[in-house]
């Protein structure tokens, strides 16, 4: 069977970040992003930077540390937000400068090279230890602000329908043969009616639009491990 496995929070957010937010920001500029999009773009990027190279690498980047802290707080990562506040205390004579080169100059008296990373060891560990909880918080934030992510959700997902309404999203390239496929539910009437049909009749007919504009019809016959069990594919 194809595609067995639940659509994890990491895969959900990472796809939006990689295929939606990042290209949009590069193409149109960060100013074109909605506020929730900017929050997710910055929070997801910043945690990756800290996990990889710690606060030393974050401070060496062009990012505004205060914006990073605000993004962490917005998605509900309170421990990461607190780590950002604590990390600022390492700098003598007030908070770190906004410009990376000025921050680098302020860091020189403290440590150099690999020693700089040890300055924020406690804060680095606080962010790294969040694990999958961080992914869940960001995924929940996206769902709470889904109207702000419409364009960002288009690229990495294939919409499928029950009747005339959108029932959910499959990962690109979408299903085309029997199997179990992870999906993201669209919590609306179509998804609800699909669930009712599945419970009362044992299956629900759905469809998705193919690249050539035609419809591919299939039957949902069950759920397994967070995904949908699909059968009976046929073009309409």
**pLDDT averaged per 10 residues, the chain (length 236):** 58 87 84 92 97 90 92 98 91 73 75 64 95 96 85 65 90 88 88 95 93 88 93 94
Quote the CA–CA distance of 69 and 72 in Å, as a whole number.
5
Residue that is written with structure tokens 């690249």 in the block: 211
CATH for the 9-150 domain, from 3.40.190, 1.20.1420, 3.40.1350, 1.10.10: 1.20.1420
pLDDT of residue 153: 59
Residue 105 has a pLDDT of 78
Dump pLDDT digits (tens) for 53-108: 999 889 888 888 999 999 999 999 999 999 999 998 887 677 777 777 887 777 77
Q: Supply the pLDDT for residue 115.
A: 58
Alpha-carbon distances, residue 5 vs 32, 129, 156, 160, 224 (angstroms)? 34, 25, 17, 18, 8
pLDDT at position 76: 97
pLDDT value for 210: 80
Q: Which two tokens stand for residue 126?
A: 């606080």
Tell me what pLDDT residue 154 has. Answer: 53
d(CA 218, CA 234): 6
């Amino acid at each position: 069977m194809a595609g067995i496995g639940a659509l994890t929070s990491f895969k959900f957010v990472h796809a939006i970040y990689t295929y939606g937010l990042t290209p949009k920001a590069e193409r149109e500029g960060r100013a074109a992003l909605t506020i929730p999009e900017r929050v997710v773009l910055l929070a997801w990027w910043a945690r990756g930077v800290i996990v990889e190279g710690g606060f030393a690498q974050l401070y060496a980047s062009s990012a505004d540390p205060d914006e990073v802290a605000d993004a962490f707080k917005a998605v509900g990562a309170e421990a990461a937000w607190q780590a950002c506040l604590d990390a600022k205390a390492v700098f003598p004579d007030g908070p770190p400068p906004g410009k990376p080169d000025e921050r680098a100059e302020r860091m020189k008296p403290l440590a150099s090279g690999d020693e700089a990373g040890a300055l924020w060891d406690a804060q680095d560990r606080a962010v790294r230890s969040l694990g999958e909880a961080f992914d869940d918080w960001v995924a929940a934030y996206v769902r709470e602000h889904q109207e702000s992510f419409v364009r960002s959700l288009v690229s990495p997902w294939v919409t499928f329908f029950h009747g005339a309404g959108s029932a959910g999203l499959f990962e690109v390239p979408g299903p085309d043969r029997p199997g179990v496929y992870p999906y993201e539910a669209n919590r609306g009437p179509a998804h609800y009616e699909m669930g009712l049909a599945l419970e009362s009749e044992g299956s629900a007919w759905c469809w998705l639009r193919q690249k050539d504009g035609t419809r591919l019809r299939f039957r949902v016959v069950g759920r397994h491990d967070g995904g949908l069990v699909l059968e009976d594919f046929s073009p309409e």
